[in-house]
């Protein structure tokens, strides 16, 4: 690639002192070299801020910025302020890392295919017993409608909601920002971005190394904060009430994620004799479930049996889950 467009890589940093260096080193060692690595110290109380500053002193591609603690969304949005002049944008969480050639592969494809706005890639789950690839064996081009349908399923590795498994054209993100003050913000952000793209391409390779179950990670375990995911989706619907298509996909995402979480929570707690905990957590989802069943949604699976199962779940979630998972 004779001309390398500038890629901004935004890394929110908070209480990851033991993981930060491997993360930043994996970005600096990319075969794609025209980078602006934006390390956002989100008011971290440990030595992370000093580590960020040290990297900025060592490499001119690194920008270290500091702010008061505001959470992951706030840090990502803060980093987006420093992407002017960058043609592409990527996100990396500071306790993870990336494969050395993934940005070159993604941008090479984007540079040749002007109609593609986002390139995604598979993830490697880093577990205690090894590294496991979660992705596809063959690349695939998705139209906007195909990508949206895949995204809202809630159980697809082809078009997952995570912001960190993709390289975006800066124009695809535009003025869209993450919702601040809430966790599980990637879903609504991705849905809003995918709603305006032309097409999406999935690379058939693992590019992102995702560390499972780090102590203190906000995605570890189950708790009532999961309700934030559905609150974020409803906020998206409120903000775009005049966009019937986006609201349809948003409610479809809500329905499918409610279904998925109900299953996961049943398996995590009821099968272990902790039904009270299961009821406590799922009760936080009930208001969202009641509103979701009153709004239109798509049957992205397509079968009549699935449609009937979805109706039963939305109207009697505890009965449906108990019958199907007994």
The Cα–Cα gap between 133 and 321 comes to 30
Average pLDDT of the residues in 99-103: 97
In this prediction, residue 81 carries a pLDDT of 98
Q: What is the CATH number of the domain that holds 169?
A: 3.90.550.10
Average pLDDT of the residues in 168-183: 97
Q: Is 216 a residue whose pLDDT tops 80?
A: no
Looking at the structure, do residues 174 and 265 belong to the same domain, yes or no? Answer: no
Looking at the structure, do residues 174 and 253 belong to the same domain, yes or no? Answer: no
Q: Is 35 a residue whose pLDDT tops 70?
A: yes
The Cα–Cα gap between 264 and 223 comes to 12
Q: Is 5 a residue whose pLDDT tops 90?
A: yes
Looking at the structure, do residues 118 and 65 belong to the same domain, yes or no? Answer: yes
Q: Which residues contact 18 (CB under 8 A, 6 or more apart)?
A: none
At residue 213 the predicted structure's pLDDT band, cuts being 50, 70 and 90, is low
Residue 128: count of CB within 10 angstroms of its CB: 6
Looking at the structure, do residues 169 and 281 belong to the same domain, yes or no? Answer: no
Q: Which residues pair with 257 in a beta bridge?
A: none
In this prediction, residue 269 carries a pLDDT of 87
Looking at the structure, do residues 251 and 117 belong to the same domain, yes or no? Answer: no
Q: Of the candidates 211, 241, 257, which is a domain's last residue?
A: 211
List pLDDT tens digits, range 273-312. 888 989 988 998 999 999 999 999 999 888 899 899 999 9
CA distance from start to end of the chain: 56
Average pLDDT of the residues in 189-198: 98
Confirm whether 1 is domain-assigned. no
Looking at the structure, do residues 312 and 206 belong to the same domain, yes or no? Answer: no
Confirm whether 218 is domain-assigned. no
Looking at the structure, do residues 244 and 206 belong to the same domain, yes or no? Answer: no
Looking at the structure, do residues 165 and 248 belong to the same domain, yes or no? Answer: no
Q: How many domains does the chain have?
A: 2
In this prediction, residue 22 carries a pLDDT of 96
85: left (phi over 0), alpha (psi -120 to 50) or beta: left
In this prediction, residue 271 carries a pLDDT of 80
Looking at the structure, do residues 51 and 193 belong to the same domain, yes or no? Answer: yes
Q: Is 142 a residue whose pLDDT tops 60?
A: yes
Confirm whether 217 is domain-assigned. no
Q: Which two tokens stand for residue 67?
A: 């702010």
Compute CA distances 300 → 13, 122, 153, 237, 263, whole Å: 37, 22, 7, 19, 18
List pLDDT tens digits, range 10-30. 999 999 999 999 999 999 999
Looking at the structure, do residues 203 and 232 belong to the same domain, yes or no? Answer: no
How big is the CA angle at 233 (ends 304 and 136), to the nearest 5 degrees?
Answer: 60
Confirm whether 116 is domain-assigned. yes
Average pLDDT of the residues in 73-87: 98
The residue segments making up the domain with residue 250 are: 224-325
The Cα–Cα gap between 287 and 309 comes to 20
Rg of the chain over Cα atoms, rounded to whole angstroms, equals 20
At residue 150 the predicted structure's pLDDT band, cuts being 50, 70 and 90, is very high
Confirm whether 216 is domain-assigned. no
Looking at the structure, do residues 195 and 230 belong to the same domain, yes or no? Answer: no
Q: Is 219 a residue whose pLDDT tops 80?
A: no
| Mean pLDDT computed over every residue of the chain | 92
At residue 215 the predicted structure's pLDDT band, cuts being 50, 70 and 90, is low
Looking at the structure, do residues 144 and 171 belong to the same domain, yes or no? Answer: yes
In this prediction, residue 326 carries a pLDDT of 59
């Amino acid at each position: 690639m004779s001309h390398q467009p500038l890629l901004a890589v935004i890394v929110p940093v908070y209480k990851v002192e033991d993981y930060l260096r491997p993360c930043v080193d994996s970005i600096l060692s990319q075969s794609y070299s025209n980078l602006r690595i934006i390390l956002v110290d989100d008011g971290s109380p440990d030595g992370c801020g000093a580590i960020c500053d040290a990297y900025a002193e060592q490499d001119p591609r690194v920008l270290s910025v500091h702010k008061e603690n505001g959470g992951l969304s706030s840090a990502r949005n803060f980093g987006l302020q420093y992407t002017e002049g960058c043609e592409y944008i990527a996100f990396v969480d500071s306790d993870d890392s990336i494969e050395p050639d993934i940005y070159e592969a993604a941008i090479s494809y984007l540079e040749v295919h002007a109609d593609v706005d986002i390139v995604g890639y598979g993830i490697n789950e880093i577990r205690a017993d090894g590294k496991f690839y979660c992705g596809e064996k063959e690349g695939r081009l998705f139209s906007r409608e195909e990508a949206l349908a895949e995204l809202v399923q809630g159980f697809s590795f082809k078009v997952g909601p995570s912001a960190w498994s993709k390289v975006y054209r800066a124009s695809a993100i535009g003025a869209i920002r993450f919702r601040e003050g809430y966790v599980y913000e990637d879903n609504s952000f991705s849905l809003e971005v995918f709603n305006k793209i032309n097409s999406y391409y999935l690379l058939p390779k693992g590019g992102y190394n995702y560390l499972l179950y780090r102590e203190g990670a906000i995605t570890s375990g189950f708790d009532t904060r999961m309700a934030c995911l559905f609150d974020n989706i409803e906020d998206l619907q409120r903000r775009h009430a005049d966009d019937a298509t986006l609201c349809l996909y948003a409610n479809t995402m809500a329905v499918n994620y409610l279904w998925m979480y109900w299953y996961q929570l049943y398996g995590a707690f009821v099968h272990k004799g902790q039904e009270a905990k299961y009821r406590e957590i799922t009760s936080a989802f009930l208001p969202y479930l009641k509103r979701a069943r009153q709004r239109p949604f798509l049957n992205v699976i397509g079968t009549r049996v699935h449609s009937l199962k979805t109706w039963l779940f939305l109207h009697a979630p505890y009965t449906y889950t108990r019958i199907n998972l007994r």
